[in-house]
Amino acid sequence: MSRDSSSSLPERGEFVVRGAPRSDRRSPVRWVVSHLLRYPGLLAAFVGMGLVQSVSGALIPRLTGWGFDAVLAGAAGASALGPIALGVLGAAILQGLADLASSFTVELLGQRLERDARDELYVSLLGKSQTFHNRQRVGDIMARAANDVRQLNPMMNPGISLIFSSSLSIVVPMAFIAAIDPRLLLAPGLFVVAFVLALRRYMRQLNPVSFAMRTQFGVMNAGLAETIQGIEVVKSVVSEAAERDRFMGNAERYRDHFVQQGQIQARYLPLLLIGLTIAGAFAHGLYFLAIGELSVGELVAFLGLMGALRFPAFISIFTFLLVQLGIAGASRILDLLQQEAEIDENQDGHVAAVRGEIRFEDVHFGYGPDKDVIRGMSFTVQPGQTVAIVGQTGSGKSTLTKLVNRTYDTTAGRITIDGVDVRDWNLQSLRPQISVIEQDVFLFSRTVAENIAFGLGERATDQAIREAAEAAQAGAFIRGFADGYDTVVGERGMTLSGGQRQRLAIARALLTDPRILVLDDSTSAVDSATEDAIQRAIDAVLQGRTTLIITHRLSQIRRADHILVLHQGEVVDQGGHDELLERCALYQRIFARVA
């Protein structure tokens, strides 16, 4: 969505949390502020306590000045020393309590900002289409979801917390100085002007470096994640040294940004300016003392209040860096949040039990604007029919099946299920009634039972899980594990064999009781005996359900009620096995290869 409209249009995506608070996504600063405004009580407490802290802190040098005047007054001022001392003590206690309360509230704000931002990003990523995720590098997304979101917390505390305190450390002392003598504002006034100009220059130099640091961190993290994910390939071709050098190159570029940041900080002027300002203020105060227009106590109070200006000059060198890093992180998070969701869940769309009729009407689809993967595809699958999809590699077989459950949307033409365009279905109603078992099975690093029940969660009973496993011919090897169904499989199921992973995936599909089943070469990693057992289980359990099978197995092709022959994204022929074998040259070549 565009930045101008993202705060007003309703949320759009494959998955949207209804009733979730909306953030203002027109800019990183607006986005952060919109999150903070969800907690007006904490914001008010933070501002109020910060003001109390600054006023009580400024009272201490003013009371100290009155104390000097009382001492110099001799016996006449002795009676005032007690109340002044108590005032200093009270101001110090009040300052400490206000500082504690302010720190607590801003820390709570920072933690909630980080939590809410992470929740919003995670939900947004769940709602993005498969096309979006195909474009992204997992490591870069993880860098944004973990490290960039984490930068929001230190941006609030100590970043914004100290900036707010230091701002009050300029305004409040200058108000007290003006109360002593407005003419004394000359030195601090010149400092404030010079400070603002120097800070503006500092921020302009720091801003691109901060963004470059966050971007390079994402690049470095993405490269690391890809190497770890592909570690088997790296080791098989003995490419460890090359991958190390690649990572070192990314790390060095990340380091260079830190060096550049240090060079900018080394040229920071306000630390020099505050020394010159205090020297000038002291000379100015001595002049007024010499001409009798300022008392010793007022001079002491004036210099004490000027000392308060050291804090914002010193603290700004790193607080504004924290804010810049936080804004850079927020900008990278917004970049993900604002990317258009190609597929809408269509909450008000068609909701019904699927019968299983699938119709392709002149369907075109391409992953990019340059070339269609599927062109002019038309066919009909009747409810309960088993259709085999055959063709050479790259003919569009897997892509075809991904259009049925709207993993992708057609670029032209339409697909209907039970006579209703899939884009008019409520996505949350349609997808649970379609199960897909792919050749590359993905299992989570969870227990066997949790992997089978994935999609149903707590609604799946232990008995149903076991029945699905038995139907998928997985029960025997599961019982062979020491912990049975409580066995935790490795990430992506790497502790299991290919056949075991596929049988668990089939059990997962059977448990959801789908009306449409898609098998994408799902028995390629099992032996013939296991394949026959699985096929018998599927035949028995899924009678009356529509099944699309992508396969090179002759036994499965023969079982199909109908066969589609694909070539370069087009259906070149369709029909039964015998008639295709008689008239379709391409099918004859495929059949000869798989026979």
Identify the residue whose tokens are 């592909």: 230
Partners of 562 in the beta sheet? 387
Clarify whether residues 33 and 138 are in a common domain: yes
For position 524, what pLDDT does the model report? 58
Clarify whether residues 413 and 448 are in a common domain: yes
Range of lowest pLDDT (32-46, 307-321, 491-505, 546-560): 491-505
Structural domain boundaries, residue 583:
358-594
Q: Is the peptide bond before 158 cis (omega within 30 degrees of 0)?
A: yes
The Cα 374–Cα 366 span in angstroms is 7
Q: Is the pTM of this model over 0.85?
A: no
For position 305, what pLDDT does the model report? 92
The Cα 309–Cα 321 span in angstroms is 19
- Asked if residue 88 has pLDDT above 50, the reply is yes
Query: Does the residue 94 lie in any domain?
Result: yes
Task: Please tell me which residue, 321 or 131, carries the higher pLDDT value.
Answer: 321
pLDDT mean over 429-436: 88
Convert 71-80 to b/e letters by CB count within 10 Å (16 or more is b): eeeeeebeeb
Range of lowest pLDDT (258-267, 335-344, 347-356): 335-344
Clarify whether residues 235 and 320 are in a common domain: yes
The domain that contains 157 carries what CATH number?
A: 1.20.1560.10
Name the residue among 307, 362, 6 with its Cα closest to residue 173: 307
Using an 8 Å Cβ cutoff, are 152 and 113 in contact? yes
Query: Does the residue 190 lie in any domain?
Result: yes
Based on DSSP, count helices (H) and strands (E) in the chain, helices before strands.
24, 10
In the listed set 273, 303, 337, which residue is the last one of a domain according to the structure?
A: 337
For position 593, what pLDDT does the model report? 63
Name the residue among 347, 344, 355 with its Cα closest to residue 420: 355
The Cα 109–Cα 114 span in angstroms is 9
Range of lowest pLDDT (350-364, 405-419, 450-464): 450-464
In the listed set 337, 369, 404, which residue is the last one of a domain according to the structure?
A: 337
DSSP characters for 504-531?
HHHHHHHHT--SEEEEESTTTTS-HHHH
Using an 8 Å Cβ cutoff, are 451 and 457 in contact? no
- Asked if residue 50 has pLDDT above 50, the reply is yes
The Cα 420–Cα 434 span in angstroms is 15
Clarify whether residues 273 and 130 are in a common domain: yes
Q: What is the pLDDT of residues 325-335, one digit of tens each?
A: 899 889 989 98
DSSP tag of 425: B
Clarify whether residues 297 and 366 are in a common domain: no
The Cα 303–Cα 68 span in angstroms is 13
Alpha helices in 22-135 (DSSP H): 28-36, 40-72, 75-127, 130-135
For position 501, what pLDDT does the model report? 84
Query: Does the residue 268 lie in any domain?
Result: yes
For position 123, what pLDDT does the model report? 87
Chain Cα centroid distance, residue 551: 37
Distance (Å) of CA 315 to CA 106, 167, 258, 276: 17, 11, 19, 17
Clarify whether residues 224 and 90 are in a common domain: yes
Residue 263 CB-density burial (10 A; 0-12 exposed, 13-18 middle, 19+ buried): exposed
Query: Does the residue 143 lie in any domain?
Result: yes
The domain that contains 584 carries what CATH number?
A: 3.40.50.300
The Cα 271–Cα 164 span in angstroms is 18
The total of structural domains in the chain comes to 2
Query: Does the residue 517 lie in any domain?
Result: yes
pLDDT mean over 39-47: 95
- Asked if residue 530 has pLDDT above 90, the reply is no
Clarify whether residues 57 and 139 are in a common domain: yes
Amino acid at 128: K
Query: Does the residue 417 lie in any domain?
Result: yes
Strand pairing category for 570-575 and 562-567: antiparallel
Range of lowest pLDDT (214-218, 294-298, 380-384, 419-423): 214-218
Token pair for 394: 């790259």
For position 161, what pLDDT does the model report? 92
Identify the residue whose tokens are 């899980």: 465
Token pair for 564: 């589609």
The Cα diameter of the chain in Å comes to 124
Query: Does the residue 2 lie in any domain?
Result: no
Residue 367 CB-density burial (10 A; 0-12 exposed, 13-18 middle, 19+ buried): middle
